[in-house]
Amino acid sequence: MTRSLSLAAYLAYARRAGPSPTPPETPRPDGAVIWAHAVDAARADTLVHLAKRLTQTRPGLHMVLTASVPEPRRRRAGGTVIWQALPEDNVPAADAFLDHWRPDICLWTGGDLKPALMVCAARKDIPLYLVDADETLLERPVWRWFPDLPRAVLGSFTEILARSEAAARQVRRLGASERIVSVTGPFQEGALTLPFNPSDREEMAVLLLGRPVWLAAMVQVDELDTILAAHREASRVAHRCLLVIVPDDPADSLNIRGRLDSEGWRYVTWSEGEMPSEATQIVLADTRGEMGLWYRLAPITFMGSSLVSGEYGRDPNEPAAHGSAILYGPNVARYLHRYSRYAEAGAARIVRDTDTLSGAVQRLMPPDQSAAMAHAAWDVASKGAAVTDQIVDMLLDRLDRQDAAR
């Protein structure tokens, strides 16, 4: 680590600052632990996605996630991610946090570096990685008072991945060694394809050949009025149009069937082994684990649980990974950052009622229109996946080398 008078002065100050630290209440889990820090909600969301990717290859791994935003209230309990408050940037608090969690790796995102935390981790031989380095987050007022402090702090890192050339230049200007800095692009969650039954896809593709198909995924019963009215309007324009409805809860199937019967729809129920005919207007796909099939068959997907309040939306990465254009309602707080990325790229469009949903479906029925949106969605998803793949490989390689050295 770089010797620095500024660092010595800062740590001397940081050693005295703040109250006595309180150890975390959550016990450290067995196995490998990665301490990851997010400077904002979007990066916290991406790190949760990264944790899922890591545990697919390395079961038993846990991520201790500190963030400058509070833990989401709607997050499912348990899992591999343990949310913790970021300790104060002083030596006692840093030592207490690190001694409790004993992380195998520290993964810091964005910037807003905390000198005491960084240096204490490095002194405990915890490898530090800075990813998604952003020039707007690298400047800190404290650098003015301790001019050679940034060089010493950045010298604690094993590797620095910058989101842009401008960020890489900033990192180097602050004193990072050229050999540890590389430009990867933004760190954003990628999209994973879902499994499907190839024989079902082949058979359905033949049955639906030439028919406009759209999917309403993760639907709440309270959204049916809007979805069915939109499908009726779309069917007036394209009489062979087929709607696939996937309930968010398969237990709602009986209720939905009652609605379809009462309105005179011609439909088949997937859980009963029924296949659509030329006369079928709706497929009620009321089983679990087959979204990979429906996303592949439908060039247009309306992501449900987004028109009614209290549901917060469902993950748009899923249709994006399978080449489907994305429509969504206004209540997507749970995945707002993801929907915003796709909307900005022209890959997703918000709808609010029957008229806007029907109009969007009709505009996307021409194959070239839905294909343009789907391609934009895939482009966003694949770019995020490439950077995530690089980080996953980097972290797993480090953990493997640590295991081999023990």
Q: What is the pLDDT of residue 339?
A: 92
Non-local (6+) Cβ contacts of 331 within 8 A are 305, 306, 307, 308, 309, 310, 311, 312, 313
d(CA 333, CA 353): 18
Residues 207 and 128 in one domain: no
Examine residue 397 and state whether it is found in any structural domain, yes or no. Answer: no
Mean pLDDT score of the chain, rounded to an integer?
Answer: 88
Examine residue 221 and state whether it is found in any structural domain, yes or no. Answer: yes
pLDDT digits (tens, 9 = 90+) for 24-82: 888 999 999 999 999 888 888 889 889 988 998 899 999 999 987 767 655 554 578 99
pTM, rounded to two decimals:
0.70
* 3-state SS assignment for residue 246: strand
Residues 218 and 291 in one domain: yes
Examine residue 403 and state whether it is found in any structural domain, yes or no. Answer: no
Closest C-alpha among 5, 4, 10 to residue 117: 10
What number is the average pLDDT over the span 82-110?
Answer: 92
> Can you give the CATH number for the domain in which 323 is found?
3.40.50.2000
Stronger pLDDT, 403 or 381, i.e. the higher one = 403
Cβ atoms of residues 192 and 279 within 8 Å: no
Q: What is the pLDDT of residue 186?
A: 84
pLDDT band at residue 188 using 50, 70 and 90 as cut-offs: confident
Examine residue 288 and state whether it is found in any structural domain, yes or no. Answer: yes
- Which residues constitute the domain of residue 327? 198-383
> Can you give the CATH number for the domain in which 126 is found?
3.40.50.11720
Q: Which residue has the tokens 């400047």?
A: 139
The tally of domains found in the chain comes to 2
d(CA 369, CA 357): 15
pLDDT digits (tens, 9 = 90+) for 212-247: 999 999 999 999 999 999 999 999 999 899 999 999
Residues 216 and 165 in one domain: no
Examine residue 401 and state whether it is found in any structural domain, yes or no. Answer: no
Examine residue 130 and state whether it is found in any structural domain, yes or no. Answer: yes
pLDDT digits (tens, 9 = 90+) for 371-395: 999 999 888 877 777 788 889 999 9
Residues 161 and 294 in one domain: no
Residues 265 and 342 in one domain: yes
Residues 162 and 210 in one domain: no
Examine residue 388 and state whether it is found in any structural domain, yes or no. Answer: no
The pLDDT > 70 percentage for the chain reads 92
Cβ atoms of residues 326 and 179 within 8 Å: no
* 3-state SS assignment for residue 161: strand
What number is the average pLDDT over the span 153-168?
Answer: 91
pLDDT band at residue 15 using 50, 70 and 90 as cut-offs: low
Q: Which of 141, 158, 187 is the last residue of a domain?
A: 187
Q: What is the pLDDT of residue 149?
A: 80
Stronger pLDDT, 392 or 191, i.e. the higher one = 392
Cβ atoms of residues 41 and 334 within 8 Å: no
Q: Which of 160, 187, 214 is the last residue of a domain?
A: 187
Residues 25 and 73 in one domain: yes
Closest C-alpha among 57, 39, 51, 118 to residue 82: 51
Examine residue 233 and state whether it is found in any structural domain, yes or no. Answer: yes
The pLDDT > 90 percentage for the chain reads 58
Residues 245 and 149 in one domain: no
Residues 159 and 239 in one domain: no
